[in-house]
Amino acid sequence: MNCSTPHKSCAALGIGAGLFTAMASALYTVFARMGLHEGLTPYDITFLRYCVAAVVTAPVLLYHLKRDRSDLLEKRYALIGVALLAGPLFGLVIFTAFQFAPASHAAIFPAASTSLMGMLLAAAFLADRLGAAHILGAAMVVLGLSMLWRLLPDPFDSGALIGDLLFILAGAMWAGLFILLRKYQLDALLATSVTSFLALITYGPIYLYATGATTLRAATTSLAWTEVLVQGVLAGACVIYASAKTVQMLGASRAAIFPVMTPALSTVFSWTFLGAVPQPGDAPGLAMAMAGLIVAALYRERPCPPLPDAADMQRKRFESPVDANFDGRL
């Protein structure tokens, strides 16, 4: 469907894709923490995420190899860059961060880091303008995160600090992925299939040789299939595509509001599936950081009206009505 012009069906699809992106992002963070709590390792969850996604998206890669091989080869370096940023390295970074970071940090830090790093990288590499709302929103996010950080018994505890730094690194990698998608006009589903396939043929054998999938084979059947569905299908195969379609159908400014929903959904899902009751003391920091994300997401730059050229000014001069009282004298 061509959504270059506003259309009710496009708006409905865009809203649906945005809600799916927010919910899938929240679910994969919650169920990653569940898997880690049940004995899985970041290596196991990374394997499930990318190798399952490779199987799910294999038809997409085969289609492009058959129909658009020249375009695929032309954009190979950009696709390799996407694979480096969003591939197994990203999985290992984000899932290791969940292993170290407190629950309140796991709810807000990934979305906040992605938003802040996205603004900075877009300004640096895409010449996007940082407006006052961007700066205000970023300041509010940093203030909210610092409020959460100061609530820790030992703010400089090595575990929490490592987790937060890894979240920042993962946010920069995920933001860099979307910079590449925008800069080189890459198809999001193709980028997902290429990233997953490269992970399957590189990370997959290394993982199986190094670990023998011991902890994964020891997991319960229900846990394994849950992680396959959430990490492999929802997060691995669908999130990037759904996020890109949201931007395409609604525009970047409207689409930016959906990732802001992820921290709230993560908190609710953590309470529902993990029994992690939100602490009242975390509320001010979470609220401040989410408010900052909303301020930055709702910012819309007003384009300056184009300056008229000389020919346009001359035409308007001669087409302007003559004043009835004008007698020809200056």
Q: Residues 104-157: pLDDT tens digits?
A: 788 888 888 888 888 888 888 888 788 888 889 889 988 988 888 777 767 666
pLDDT tens readout for residues 79-99:
999 999 999 999 999 999 999
Report domain extents, the chain. Answer: 8-300
Closest CA to 92 of 49, 46, 51: 46
pLDDT tens readout for residues 224-278:
999 999 999 999 999 988 988 887 787 665 676 787 788 888 888 888 888 887 7
Q: 195-198 long-range contacts, Cβ below 8 Å, gap at least 24?
A: 195/50, 195/79, 195/82, 195/83, 195/86, 195/87, 196/50, 196/51, 196/53, 196/54, 196/56, 196/57, 196/236, 196/237, 197/54, 197/57, 197/58, 197/61, 198/80, 198/83, 198/87
Alpha carbon distance 31, 37 (integer Å)? 9
Q: Which residue has the tokens 């959430």?
A: 230
**Two tokens at 276?**
């992690």
Q: Is the pTM for the entire model greater than 0.85?
A: no
